[in-house]
Amino acid sequence: MRSDAARPAAAGRLTPALDVLALLAAGAPVPGCARRPEVRVEDAWVRSAERTSLTAGYFTLVNDGRVPLVLASVSCPLAADTRMHTTVRDRGIVSMHEVDHFDVPARSRLRFRPGGNHLMLIDLRTRLLPGASAPLTLRLGDGRTLEATARVRS
């Protein structure tokens, strides 16, 4: 005759280890082991503006996910208007153009950096001194928003 009572005890002893393996296999966060979000903003900074009411901002939007996304707009409460620009070189002439949105494919990075894509922060409400910070809100095409803190530097 088989002993049913022995089985649950044995299974119970194995369960904790199996649970952790199942969590790892599912990619779930394990306590004490923080994971970076798949979609995130890195290296956000804004050029200091002590005498002008206009400056530029930069960041990297990381999309480590399997789904493409769209960067629809960026705003900063320290500026009356924030626009996304790209820099274009055509036969030696450098100009910048406003961009309505950026497509960010799955597993890619969208970089804003000097000489390339950049934010224009227009009609600053305050001087931006090195060491200060400026909050940025990135709005995605699906309605999600990402908050970032940009360091002000010269």
Distance of closest approach, residue 106 Cβ to Cu ion, in angstroms? 28
**Which residues, in sequence order, are CB contacts of 50 under 8 Å at separation 6+?**
127, 128, 129
Q: Per rule CB under 5 A, is residue 113 in the interface with Cu ion?
A: no
Residues 3-62 that bind Cu ion (CB under 5 A): none
- Among residues 39, 72, 96, 132, the one that binds Cu ion under rule CB under 5 A: 96
C-beta of residue 69 within 8 angstroms of C-beta of residue 142: yes
Stretch that binds Cu ion, among 39-47, 60-68, 78-86, 128-136 (CB under 5 A): 78-86
Backbone angles phi, psi at 130, to 5 degrees: -55, 140
Kindly tell me the burial class for residue 117, based on how many C-beta atoms sit within 10 Å of its own C-beta (0-12, 13-18, 19 or more). Answer: buried
C-alpha 152/C-alpha 154 separation (Å) is: 7
Regarding 127 and contact with Cu ion (CB under 5 A), the answer is: no
- Does 122 help bind Cu ion (rule: CB under 5 A)? no
Is residue 110 within 8 Å of 104, Cβ to Cβ?
Answer: yes
Q: Is residue 132 near Cu ion by the rule CB under 5 A?
A: no
Among 46-54, 67-75, 95-103, 106-114, the segment contacting Cu ion (CB under 5 A)? 95-103
**Where on the chain is the footprint of Cu ion (CB under 5 A)?**
85, 96, 120
